[in-house]
Amino acid sequence: MSATIVLLHAMGASHRMWRAQAEALGDRYEVLAPDLPGHGATGGRFTLVAAVDQLRELLRDRPSPAHLVGASLGANVALRVALDEPGLVASLVLSGAAVRMSRAGVTVQRAVTAVLPLSVTSEMSATIVRPADDRDRAAFVDDIRRAGKRTQADALRELRHDHLEPRLGDVGVPALVCCGAADTSNLASARLLAACLPDATLRIVPGGGHLWNLQHPDLCTRTVDEFVSAVTSAQ
C-alpha cells in the first residue's frame, strides 16, 4: 500500500498551490490536498483548532500515519497535528513555518491587508512569490481574493498567539525543515525549528522564496519524494 502525503497550503491560498506536486507525486503516493478552514472550497472561520480537527477527520481512519507537507501557515498546521495527534503523523516537511511572529510584523501585515484592496494585495503577493507557471499565478491570485481579508486576519491572529516553541521537543517524527534562501524573514525561524525538533534536517533552498514550491516545482517534488522515501524505507 502506498504511503499517504498530505499537502497543506499557505495563508490565503488553497490546494491549487500544490498542483505540480500533486500531479507528479500522485503516481507513487496517495496525495491529499485539503483546503483549510476559510480557504478555497472549505467554509467557516480559520482557527488552528478547526484545522487540526479537519486533519483529524481526514486521517483517523487511514491504515497508517501520513506524511504532512506544509508551507507557511500549512507548516504550522502540520506541527500542531503532529503535537496534538501524534499517531496520525509519520513525518513532517515544513517550509516557511512561523515559530516566532513578532507583534510588529503581524501589525504591519494586518495594516497592509486592511488598507489595500484585495485586487492589489493579491497581485502584490503573486509578484513576491513569482510562480513559475502562469496557471499557478492565476490560481494563487484568485484564491487570495476568494479567501478574503477576514480569513487572512484570522490566520495572522492565530499565528501570532500560537506558542509552539516550548512544545517542539515533543515532536516524535522525522522532520525536514526548509526555507528559501531569499525568504530572509523566516530563516531564523527555520534554524530555530530545526534546532528544537528532536529529529530534524535543515535545508536552505538556493534562490527560493517563501513559497518556493511555486517557483521551483520540480525541485520541491524531488525534495518531498526523496525525504518521504527515506523515512518509509527506514521504518
Q: How far apart are CA 146 and CA 48, in angstroms?
A: 20
pLDDT of residue 113: 64
Dist. CA 86–CA 182, nearest whole Å: 32
CA distance 91 to 66: 7
Cell numbers at 164, concatenated: 509552539
Measure Cα distances from 209 to 60, 87, 212 in Å: 33, 32, 5
pLDDT at 129: 85
Note the pTM of the prediction, 2 decimals: 0.94
Q: Can you give the pLDDT at residue 122?
A: 82
Other C-beta atoms lying within 10 Å of the C-beta of residue 30:
14
What span, in angstroms and rounded, lies between the C-alpha atoms of 133 and 216?
10
Q: Average pLDDT for consecutive 10-residue bins of the chain (235 residues)? A: 94 97 97 98 97 97 96 97 98 92 57 64 82 94 93 91 91 98 92 97 96 98 98 90
Q: What is the pLDDT of residue 125?
A: 82
pLDDT of residue 202: 98
Q: How many CB atoms lie within 10 A of CB 25?
A: 21
For the chain, the straight-line distance linking the first and the last C-alpha, in angstroms and rounded, comes to 14
Planar angle of CA 98, 74, 232, nearest 5 degrees: 110
Domains of the chain and CATH, by start: 4-234 (3.40.50.1820)
**Following DSSP, what letter does each residue of 103-140 receive, concatenated?**
HHHHHHHHHHHHHS-HHHHHHHHHHHH--SSHHHHHHH
